Structures are given as structure tokens and as C-alpha cells.
Homo-oligomer: A and B are copies of this chain.
Amino acid sequence: MPRAAAANAPEDLGAREKILREATRLFAERGFEGTSLRDLADAVGLQKGSLVYHFETKENIREAVLEALIDRWKDIVPQIVLTATTGENRFERTIAESTRFFSEDPNRARFLLRECLDHPAELQARVEQLSPWLGLLADRIKQGQKEGIIHRDVDPLVYVWGVVLATIATMAVTGMAAGIIGPERTEERIQTELIRIARTSLFIEPASKGANA
């Protein structure tokens, strides 16, 4: 019986994970303030007292969801940086890997975007933990500038931040775009154009695929 925070008995993991999964979805769709413990308990199939048993407070559930999301993100970032520095088609593969995390579950993007709005200071501190990794990507861009294959007037860190933010925002509201750009192949067209903008605004000349150092 996990009365405190850290414990995790065998059967317990299932319950905690189920709660976190449904909480991610509901917080993403309706927001933290728009989701009651009752809503969440119903979605999981428990009584709300049981949620308190596992997490003590609603606020703790929010933090656990954020923590789990950022942990999964951290697992992926090193791989992204590696992709950005080795092999062929680096750029396309880097963007694709960055996008996948959010495109495979847009609720991650929605939850993160809501957190940016609800708790900007906390999110800023979290994102600063990723600074070293973003710095590595920025260094790659600086190197490309010296090599003459990347536009000299790119602001490397701002560019990286812009691409990350644009990816999250695009994925978060992906459903809305259909009304403007038409219902056919909406997601694919957005994805393609996002990559095109990111590539064309970065590299100097050969915009065709496979042309990156």
C-alpha cells in the first residue's frame, strides 16, 4: 500500500499509470481547472478517494503528469541530437524525430502548451534543463554557418526554440487547420510545409532532399 509518494508495489504501477494516462488526456482536452477529481476517477474507473490515496492532492497529479511527460521527452532528446550530427538526411530525420513525439499523441502537445500558459515560470525552469541539448543543436548550426552551408543571419538558439514551439503549437491545434486549408491530407501538408520552412530558412542553397552536411 503506497501511502507516501515514492512507493510502487507490483499491482500499484498499473493503477498509477492508468491514472496518469487518463489525467494526461483530460488535462490536455479540458485543462487542469476544467477537470475535476470526479471526472478523472470516472475515466479511470475508481472512486475519487482512491486518486487521493495515490497522489494525495490534485496538484500532485498535475506534477506527476508533467514529470512523466518531460522524462519521456528527455529520453528522446539525446537521440535527436545524435541524429542531427551523424548520417545522411540529417535534417529531415532530425525534424521527423522531433515531431514524432508529439504527432503520435497530440495530447502531449496540448498539455504542454496549457502548462506554458498556466505555469510559465515552472515550465521555463523545466525547459532550462534542456538547455545543454538545445545548445548542442545551436552549436551544429554555428558550425554550418562557418562551413558556409547555413545562412549567416540565423540566430541559432532562437531558431531552435522557434522550431520546437511551432511544432508543439501545430500539433496541439492540428484539428483546427482543416477548416482553413481543406480537409484533404491536412496533417501531411502541414508536416511537409513545416519541414520545408525549417529547411529553407536554415540552409543556403540546395533545398533538395539529402543535401545537408
Which residues of chain A have a CB within 8 Å of any CB of chain B?
30-34, 110, 113-114, 116-118, 120, 123-125, 127-128, 131, 134, 151, 153-155, 157-159, 161-162, 165-166, 168-170, 172-173, 175-182, 189-190, 192-194, 196-198, 200-201, 207
Contact = CB atoms under 8 A, between A and B. Distances in A.
Contacts of A192: 155, 158
A180 B193 contact: no
Contacts of A127: 176, 179-180
A197 B159 contact: yes
A165 B181 CA distance: 13
Contacts of A153: 196, 207
A196 B125 CA distance: 28
Contacts of A118: 30-31, 34
A194 to B, nearest CB: 7
Contact of A114 (B117, B131, B181, B198): B117
A170 B162 contact: yes
Q: Output the residue of A131, A155, A192, A207 with the most chain B CB within 10 A.
A: A155
Q: Which of A162, A180, A196, A201 has the most CB of B within 10 A?
A: A180
Given A120-B173, A158-B181, 10 more contacts: A30-B33, A30-B118, A31-B34, A32-B34, A33-B34, A117-B172, A151-B207, A154-B193, A155-B181, A161-B181
Given A127-B179, A155-B189, A190-B158, A173 B31 contact: no
A61 B45 CA distance: 35
A161 B169 CA distance: 12
A138 to B, nearest CB: 9
Most buried by B among A114, A189, A197: A197
A203 to B, nearest CB: 10
A117 B113 contact: yes
Nearest to A125: B179
B162 A173 contact: no
